[in-house]
A and B are shown apart, each in its own frame.
Chain A
């Protein structure tokens, strides 16, 4: 019984909360039908529940309100202001009673002060008359407050304060969502159960692949995979919580602070329906609170000062959340006096963060962002509101810990704007798997700027004392060897030809991490590590790969900090200044520069380049009219291959290929050497005589041919074909099964039952069967190989003796070519 009661209270509260916005809106526009329906549903549900729980007073109240609302719905009466007030008063009363029930007070007794009856009368009276009676009864019955829910909504219980700080909120006419309450542990269990299922599925997939194609199993398995990924998505969304839960505390915080500081602040919340991982919400609660405190304490001026400056007496604090892709931006803006550039600069010079000379070279933006540097605080008087020893540097640190960032901009005299960027979720991140010394590690994708594969000479790797430097796009960038960082043995091979992962820290610093190889990238479900492991400062968590192997996630920020790669305030401020000067005013088209197999320097627009592939010469098939290459199980057209010799044969039988895509089609361009991505700053001069060239331009004083992508794809583009093994159907007898089948399989064909054959399937049949089928007019559609029993060929029939191995294999090969390049006959 107690459980049911608790459920009832919770449900009623939830509905009150949900409908409180509706009530206010209805009050403003009583003719609004949708709001009326929502409120009607609420009183109706309360009435039903009260009957069940034997709360006669609640039942009577809700019944009266329901009657009145039902009349309005049926059009028997118009909702006049008196009636709206009366209904609102009843809803207030219901809220009070629910509180009383929860507190364990006995409300089953008859109406103590007659207030209930007065309210009921008010609803009924106003049905006939709109006289004074009803209105006064409402006032009498709805003591202590007429509009408690409305003010509760904006969180001002205190009347005295409500004229100091007025808050508003955009009430969304939210659709009534059916919800249930669940303990969080249960949710976590379901989540880990689904993760287990995904791993079990991956294991099964692995085994199925080993067992070969089994059409009867593959279909259901595909379905299982689809369902599982749907469930996984839904479960992931379960973790999400509306940022509203965080916002709901803000009006109260603002009210209390403004009261304490003698300021008038209005808070405007927007984007409360943005959803965020619930752990992330907890993480940003403190930083957000801190910034709001700062804004009210230091940003917004006292009312008198505001009036003098020609502003409204009431300051405005706007908090808005927006989702864009995988990140959430939270913007906190105030219309206070803004940040004082000179004071910040003076303070920074005084504390030794920057020198006076540096200051004069710094832009306003750079100076303002100094407030996030450790040991910085502008407030001359440390009040008890902000300045509690926790500075903005801690705010930034906490945000960076979860992969977020913060920046500030400000207009003098007009206000300040803080922008927080935070990732959507803590537990699932995009990551890159790298290998070093035979062990795999994961790196959060958000840090990865670029992956560079080149020889040490091309990168100009040099050692300055203990520090390694590489030259990347003309700048020297510090380089860490991951094997050294982790104390693993380095193989000589890897050291000679490392793969560099360029990592950009939240502070803007760039460094390179040398690894042996890159595996793949994808979404990683990150699990926490034991505290003893976390203490090493190298890892942020662990994750399981598809094959169930656990992998450690590197804590990039911490590793960089441990190697002193995070510049201190001074260097950090100086570096971007140089960057800015180098940045061209206009975004230029970028292109990938390469030397093609004929030694011509060419370029292709960077947007087209999917990847740089390295393929063994054996993956190239030159048998058809056009060369093709097999990459990742796909057959793709290959162009620009010189006749002889195969390019890059000096590269131990490997070819460099640029993989281009127009979105649907892919093709590969063989190149001798990939140089670099460049900006096309020079003028583009059209070359009408070469259809494959869009233009010729100058890069570093050298002419470069820019390839015409339109012509390229028009000529060669075709959607990728899965490199499935060619299929072959066999006669249904023991000889074919035991003697012919192994030969056909070892020749690289897949045996399919005749009923599963498609037009590309090569049918091997006995000549008798073939002739019989022809005679019956049911000839086979696909390529056919006819076998005869006797070695001697019958004149005029195209058959092969069944033990003539060579003839059989060559027939298969030509038939397979026909199957893939329809147009000729086998």
Chain B
């Protein structure tokens, strides 16, 4: 699909694209209530009006080691499987239009990135990695489980 609207975000210093249709809103993130014993990439829950959002740290969801990335005070709110999530990223940049279809690059994106990426997509503001939301939200554990199962 050409002319697809994308939200460009920075995750762990990389330019990534989320389909604008998936992003319900961008909110200022308030107090996050931590969830003890939850997977590491889940920072906690926060309230958006009467709704409780699960806050996902996208950097940790990629299985990357904690690192001093900048964190945007805003978060993208997405819905996946009937639940609403707030995605914590380095920075939310802009909305732009895609040119062409997502494609692969020779050599792949690396194991963790390949898991969450649909492919590389060209946009009006340059290339970005198109993110598969459900894979991102599932977090790094699923990969390990799949490997174990195989």
Q: Which of A's residues lie within 8 Å of B, judged by CB?
A: 192, 195-196, 198-199, 439, 486-488, 525, 527-533, 535-536, 538-539, 542-544, 548-552
Contacts and interface: CB of A to CB of B under 8 A. Distances in A.
A532 B49 contact: no
Interface string B42-76: 10011101111010000000000000000000000
B108 interface: no
Contact of B37 (A527, A531, A536, A544): A536
A487 B49 contact: no
Contacts of B39: 532, 535-536
8 contacts: A488-B36, A531-B81, A532-B39, A533-B54, A536-B37, A542-B45, A551-B33, A552-B33
Contacts of A543: 52
Residue from A486, A532, A549 having most chain B Cβ neighbours under 10 A: A532
B50 A195 contact: yes
Given A530-B54, A533-B45, A536-B37, 18 more contacts: A192-B51, A196-B49, A439-B33, A488-B36, A529-B52, A529-B83, A530-B83, A530-B137, A532-B38, A533-B38, A536-B38, A536-B39, A538-B37, A543-B52, A544-B47, A549-B31, A550-B46, A550-B52
Interface string B11-44: 0000000000000000000010111111100100
Nearest to B82: A528
Interface in B82-127: 82-83, 85
B121 to A, nearest CB: 27
A196 B36 contact: no
B138 interface: yes
A551 B81 CA distance: 22
Nearest to A535: B39
Of B39, B54, B139, the most chain A CB neighbours within 10 A belong to B54
Nearest to A543: B52
Given A530-B85, A532-B42, A550 B47 contact: yes
Contact of B49 (A199, A486, A531, A542): A199
A542 to B, nearest CB: 4
Given A196-B50, A532-B42, A532-B137, A550 B36 contact: no
A532 B52 contact: no
A487 B36 contact: yes
Contact of A487 (B37, B42, B137): B37
A22 to B, nearest CB: 42
Contacts of B45: 529, 533, 542, 550, 552
A529 B37 contact: no
A539 B35 contact: yes
Nearest to A440: B33
A487 B35 CA distance: 10
> Could you say which interface size class chain B belongs to?
20 to 34
B116 to A, nearest CB: 15
Contacts of A528: 82-83
A435 to B, nearest CB: 12
A544 B50 contact: yes
Contacts of B85: 530
B37 A552 contact: no
B50 A549 contact: no
Given A528-B83, A532-B137, A532-B138, A549 B35 contact: no
A549 B36 contact: no
Nearest to B31: A549
Contacts of B42: 530, 532-533
A539 B47 CA distance: 17
Contacts of A542: 45, 52
B58 to A, nearest CB: 14
A536 B45 CA distance: 15
A710 B42 CA distance: 58
Contacts of A198: 50
Interface in B121-145: 137-139
B36 to A, nearest CB: 4
Contact of A533 (B35, B46, B47): B35
Contacts of A196: 49-50
Contacts of B47: 544, 548-550
Contacts of B52: 527, 529, 542-544, 550
B117 to A, nearest CB: 20
A115 B47 CA distance: 65
Contacts of A525: 50
B83 A486 contact: no
A372 B127 CA distance: 60
A238 to B, nearest CB: 16
A199 B51 CA distance: 10
A284 B122 CA distance: 51
A538 B37 CA distance: 8
Nearest to A195: B50
A439 B37 contact: no
Nearest to B33: A550
A529 to B, nearest CB: 7
User: Ordered nearest first, which 8 A-B pairs have the shortest CB separation?
Assistant: A486-B36, A195-B50, A530-B54, A542-B52, A196-B50, A530-B83, A550-B45, A196-B49
A525 B45 CA distance: 16
A609 to B, nearest CB: 35
B35 A552 contact: yes
B149 to A, nearest CB: 16
B52 to A, nearest CB: 4
A538 B50 contact: no
